Amino acid sequence: MSLISYDQALADLIHQLLVTKQVEAVPLLQAQGRVLASNVVATQDSPAFDHSAMDGYAICGLSEPRWQLVAYIATGDSTQNLVLRPGQAVRIFTGAAVPKGTEAVLPQEEVSVIDDFVSCINPIKMQQHIRLRAEEYQQGTVLIAAQQVLNATHIAIAASQGYTEFACYQKLKVCVFSSGNELQALGQKLQENQIYDSNRPLLMALLNQNQFIEVSDGGLLPDQQDIIQQSLAQGANQNDVVLISGGASVGDKDYSIAALQCLGSIQQWKLAIKPGKPFGCGRIQQTQVFVLPGNPVACWVTYLILVLPALKILAGFTKQQALPMRLQATAQFNIERPQSRQQFLCGQLTTEFGQLHAKIHSSQSSAMLTHCGSSNALVIVPAQQTVREGQSVQVIYLKEA
């Protein structure tokens, strides 16, 4: 089996995804982190009426020497029956509607008021400090485009237009399994030559960072094909996506791929990346399945650079939004020995005087998780290349780190 590049694997993976999204109404205050299914459009102009941008005085007649105070307008007061005439002014506050006839608003710090007459020595421009109706947008304008993850400002925008709910894609149901006789579940006593299962907690924690995903625990499976096959079939029957770590390679005890071959379609890849060489993806009927490496760091990396983009597309993201964002940074490290595979190295992305800098951890073993915990970036080093300090390198910034 020949090696496949990361870029080719990601493109092939996205191409074979079966995207079937259902829509549901989600209350406004429960929608943060969900994926919007349809555009949110303005129900009214913004501003909805001409209003003052300052605390001060609304006036009529720019050439008048002074203006007589005839009214007081606070935010929310009606101006329906008030019309300013030349030489008249009203006391007004930020956000309050300006009455008909208003030609400008004078900031309170630029005027003097004597015996209910307002005067100003500064030049005055027509419509100064007035926010005009529809200045920001008109009714019918798309305010929030579909296929975005909703955040707090989106919720505020929708609330300002009177929305009480959003049309969102239903949460993606994802079930997570681990496999391997060498693994022991948390809370159980380790037997000889066993280690605790960390991949399943890792993947579930990563998935739970996304409000558009509903996560379930499939459990820890032994290296027995019939049990793996039965468990995967049950998980696929109840979920949109199944993840299993372990059994992605071609060893005698690697049963995950074999189980999937009996249940549906599967593509087994040897990725030209380090860490993360073994990887599999396929489907059981309508359910997408991913087989990740058993080594913890390799599991972490392949989830971030392959599985997560696929999950985002299945959840309703556009392809452009789903793909990992690659940034350019200045290397603060040296790599003297080139590798035959593209490397994704655990590192730290920092800024100094507006410049991005990348460091890497000294240890990069695919079985050592500790350096992942202090990483906020994956530093990409192409195959057969060295890196010198000061050279530009590509990095993937990890928001969840």
How do residues 188-224 score in pLDDT, each as one tens digit?
A: 999 999 999 999 999 999 999 999 999 999 999 999 9
Length of the chain counted residue by residue? 401
Position 401 scores a pLDDT of 42
| Contact assessment for residue 18 and residue 283, using Cβ atoms and an 8 Å cutoff | yes
d(CA 178, CA 292): 9
Name the architecture of domain 51-131. Beta Complex (2.170)
Q: Which residues contact 110 (CB under 8 A, 6 or more apart)?
A: 56, 120, 122
| Contact assessment for residue 271 and residue 293, using Cβ atoms and an 8 Å cutoff | no
Position 106 scores a pLDDT of 98
Q: What is the CATH number of domain 3-22+171-322?
A: 3.40.980.10
Compute the C-alpha angle 312/317/318, nearest 5°: 125
Three-state SS at 25: strand
d(CA 210, CA 400): 10
Binned average pLDDT, 10 residues per bin, the chain of 401 residues: 92 93 97 98 97 98 96 96 97 98 97 96 96 98 97 98 98 98 93 95 97 98 95 97 89 82 91 94 96 94 98 96 95 93 96 94 80 93 96 91 42
Q: Which residues contact 57 (CB under 8 A, 6 or more apart)?
A: 67, 69, 89, 90, 91, 92, 105, 106, 108, 111, 118
Which spans in 275-360 are helix H? 296-302, 308-315, 319-322
Which spans in 316-380 are helix H? 319-322, 370-373
| Contact assessment for residue 358 and residue 395, using Cβ atoms and an 8 Å cutoff | yes
Establish whether domains 24-45+143-169 and 326-397 are of one fold: no
| Contact assessment for residue 183 and residue 194, using Cβ atoms and an 8 Å cutoff | yes
d(CA 71, CA 360): 67
Position 315 scores a pLDDT of 97
Of 342, 281, 268, the residue nearest 313 (C-alpha): 281
Rounded to 5 degrees, φ, ψ at 145 are -75, 145
Of 35, 30, 8, 33, the residue nearest 19 (C-alpha): 35
Q: Domain locations in the chain?
A: 3-22+171-322, 24-45+143-169, 51-131, 326-397
Q: What is the CATH number of domain 326-397?
A: 2.40.340.10
Position 252 scores a pLDDT of 62
Q: Copy the structure tokens of residue 113.
A: 């008021």
d(CA 272, CA 324): 18
d(CA 300, CA 269): 17
Model pTM score: 0.91
Of 324, 328, 325, 344, the residue nearest 390 (C-alpha): 328
Q: Which residues contact 245 (CB under 8 A, 6 or more apart)?
A: 177, 178, 179, 199, 200, 203, 291, 292, 293, 294, 299
Annotation: CATH topology of 24-45+143-169: Molybdopterin biosynthesis moea protein, domain 2 (3.90.105)
| Contact assessment for residue 308 and residue 208, using Cβ atoms and an 8 Å cutoff | no
